[in-house]
Chain A
């Protein structure tokens, strides 16, 4: 069909002169490069990002090498404090705390990122569809979301884990079950606002398919808030996993989780405080880093900020 359409060259007047040579093209200032520029100026967010990169590096290193195996008992005297051989000391069974923290970092990152990937996969399409089509689907979704909000997170997670059994995958599923609503709600709100914008009307008037409008126009315009929400969702999920593991219904031994390590240490907090302190510090630093990064992203992606 392409050849059947032709455009006459401009009628009256000389052909436009294209004068590009020697003219410096203006610097491409896209939304994202603007945001990146603003993010770089935010010290706290930048430090947090560096910390998180290091954390990821540590988790990756732990895949191939840890000072000791995280499950070998008796590599040091039980309860022994930090020393040259065991930097962060040993736990109740004489396992190396540093090695366990490193593997715990893997667990935390998998849970944190994994839940958000699933939350995005569930919440974004639901939010887009209910916001764009409204009607019955939206009513049903709104009802389900309200029901989920009405039940305590812990109850949902506990019931699911008891039904499914406590494994890493099931922990992720349980956390997603308590967190998808926020994302769905956010995307729905964004969609409701964006669908009334003129460029959506323009896209529809040019014959764009609904899928194109949803994923080509509405989604890219709500990416900023979605990224921020997901970034804040990561520490929340990590904390929730730590909490579940602290209660004993999370990651099962001998796999270490920062939460279960802190729980183990709590029993011996008087004689071996390092068993609580190090996992807690790791957890706190990570949560802080994600939150600061989220804050930084929120400021950087806010189009009203023109600094």
Chain B
């Protein structure tokens, strides 16, 4: 774990829209170590997918990576030529997408599409590619791969399609696999199987995984480290257990509290985070989370907090942090986390 395999430094990605500039990714930095698996979590529009797409320079129009560095083997992926980045895509850094239904070409046979992934980088002859495809499909636990290679995507189930996508991602034995919400479109049991598969691949092949998701459970199951994004910025990062046990940013804390629990009181309301995700055309001043934060203080309205060490290996960008919120604002007993600076309903005050 000495040198990171991928270093993202101060990445800024903007979308030039008619209404103005949307800063979808605003100064994101993180390191990825060989064989590691990290999670990037955040709600829709937090910039997590755009961060991943920026790494491979696949940001859709009218998006532009405006500044920052993406260092991979001492190369800045943002500076190299189009031809060079194309060589890295799929060979060194592969990506799998949310909806396996639409990420496979509907008119081409599944096996052929996996062959293609290898042939694109001249990694094999057609015959070798075909044999390796069968091997890969077996590896991702698709039954009867010899016959399945000839199937069209619509002949496979959703889970099998995602497995085929993963096989395609692994075709060139990349050192990094970026998974953009790979389980969102699947039902829960299949989700678990896919996560288990990704975990096995991470362990057995040493492929580093960047898991992008809005689901904290997915992160808990697969990742060792987690980055929490909000409105284009990383608001908290650290080892998974630590973040889950002791989140320091109120956003992370609310995210974790909003996971529905089986053991919750019967009539207890689902806890949601009040308010809407911020309008990135006109982001809030100061801390971007302050309009929805139950623990905001004066300073949050005006000054933007930077990431700082809150525990060993754990950083949060917050003026208050949960430690203080617990001590001074009785955060743990707060039931209703509507913005109200800690003055919301407390457990004892519940009427029903």
Q: Is the CB of A2 within 8 A of B105?
A: no
Whether A203 lies near B139 (C-beta < 8 A) is no
A201 and B103 form a contact (CB under 8 A): yes
In the bound complex, how far is the Cα of B112 from the Cα of A220, in angstroms? 14
Whether B289 sits at the interface, judged by CB under 8 Å, is: no
Q: How far is the CA of A27 from the CA of B117 in the complex (A)?
A: 27
Looking at A28-36, A152-160, A162-170, the stretch in contact with chain B turns out to be A28-36
Which residue of the partner chain, among B90, B132, B139, contacts A206 with CB atoms under 8 Å? B90
Q: What 8 A-B pairs come out closest when comparing CB atoms?
A: A206-B90, A207-B90, A207-B89, A205-B95, A198-B102, A202-B103, A198-B103, A2-B124
Q: Judge if B17 is at the interface, Cβ distance under 8 Å.
A: no
A11 within 8 A of B: yes
**Beyond A7-B136, A216-B116, is A201–B97 a contact (Cβ under 8 Å)?**
yes
Is there contact, CB below 8 Å, between A16 and B141? yes
B120 and A207 within 8 A (CB): yes
Task: Identify B107's interface contact among A10, A20, A205, A220, CB under 8 A.
Answer: A220
Does B168 sit at the interface, judged by CB under 8 A? yes
Q: Is the CB of B117 within 8 A of A206?
A: yes
A199 at the interface (CB under 8 A from B): yes
B112 to chain A, nearest CB (A): 10
Segment 174-202 of A: residues with Cβ below 8 Å from B: 196-199, 201-202
How big is chain B's contact interface, by range? 35 or more
Q: Measured between alpha carbons, how far is A7 from B140 in the docked complex, in Å?
A: 12
B105-148 Cβ-contact flags toward A at 8 Å (1 or 0): 11110000000110011111100100010011011010111110
CA distance A256 to B32 in the complex (A): 75
Tell me if A25 and B147 are in contact (CB < 8 A).
Answer: yes
- Tell me if A18 is interfacial: C-beta within 8 Å of chain B: yes
- Are B90's CB and A221's CB within 8 A? no
**Quick one: CB contact mask for B168-210 with A, threshold 8 Å, 1 for yes?**
1111110000000000000000000000000010011100000
A204-B58, A207-B87, A209-B120 as given contacts; A30 in contact with B143, CB under 8 Å? no
Q: Which of B57-102 contact A (CB under 8 A)?
A: 58, 60, 86-91, 94-99, 102
**B333 in contact (CB, < 8 A):** no
Q: Which residues of B contact A2 (CB under 8 A)?
A: 123-125, 128
- Judge if B155 is at the interface, Cβ distance under 8 Å: yes
A212, CB-defined interface residue at 8 Å: yes
- Asked if B150 is at the interface of the complex by the 8 Å CB criterion, the answer is yes
Q: With the chains together, A198 CA to B122 CA distance in Å?
A: 24
Q: Give CA–CA (A267, B96) in the complex, Å.
A: 71
Q: Separation in Å of the A190 CB from the closest CB of chain B?
A: 13
Whether A10 contacts B138 by the Cβ 8 Å rule is yes
Known A8-B205, A18-B143; further 11 A-B contacts with Cβ < 8 A: A1-B124, A2-B123, A10-B141, A11-B203, A16-B138, A19-B143, A198-B98, A199-B105, A205-B89, A205-B97, A208-B120
Take A16-B141, A20-B147, A221-B107 as given contacts and tell me if A207 and B86 are in contact as well, using a CB distance cutoff of 8 Å: yes
On whether the beta carbons of B120 and A206 are closer than 8 Å, the reply is: yes
A84 interface hit (Cβ, 8 Å): no
- Evaluate contact between B168 and A206: CB separation under 8 angstroms: yes
B95 touching A220 by the CB < 8 A rule?
no
Residues of A close to B94: CB separation below 8 A = 205-206
Which residues on B are within 8 Å of A, measured CB to CB?
56, 58, 60, 86-91, 94-99, 102-108, 116-117, 120-125, 128, 132, 135-136, 138-139, 141, 143-147, 150, 152, 155, 165, 168-173, 200, 203-205
Q: Give the interface of A toward B (CB within 8 A).
A: 1-2, 5-12, 16, 18-20, 23, 25-26, 28-31, 196-199, 201-209, 212, 216-217, 220-221, 223
Residues of B close to A26: CB separation below 8 A? 155
CA distance A31 to B153 in the complex (A): 11
Point out which of B56, B86, B150 has the most chain A C-beta atoms below 10 A from its C-beta. B86
For A20, what are the chain B residues with a Cβ–Cβ distance below 8 Å?
144, 146-147
Q: How far is the CA of A1 from the CA of B289 in the complex (A)?
A: 50
User: Which residues from chain B contact A12 at a C-beta distance below 8 Å?
Assistant: 200
A220 to B168, CA, bound (A): 20
Can you offer 11 A-B residue contacts whose CB atoms are under 8 A?
A5-B123, A7-B135, A198-B102, A199-B106, A201-B103, A202-B95, A203-B105, A204-B89, A209-B86, A220-B107, A221-B107
Asked if B116 and A212 make an inter-chain contact with CB atoms under 8 angstroms apart, the answer reads: yes
Contacts known (A7-B173, A16-B143, A18-B144); A199 close to B104, Cβ less than 8 A = yes
A220 with B105: CB separation less than 8 A: yes
Query: In the complex, which residues of chain A have a beta carbon less than 8 angstroms from the beta carbon of B105?
Result: 199, 203, 217, 220-221
Pair A197/B102 contact, Cβ less than 8 Å: yes
A28 partner, pick from B89, B138, B150, beta carbons under 8 A = B150
**Considering the chains assembled together, what is the distance between the CA atoms of A82 and B87 in angstroms?**
71
Asked if B58 contacts A205 (CB within 8 A), the reply is yes
Closest partner residue, chain B, to A27 (CB atom)? B155
Interchain CA distance A8-B200 in the complex, whole Å: 11
Q: How far is the CB of A218 from chain B (nearest CB, A)?
A: 9
Q: CA A208 – CA B102 in complex, angstroms?
A: 17
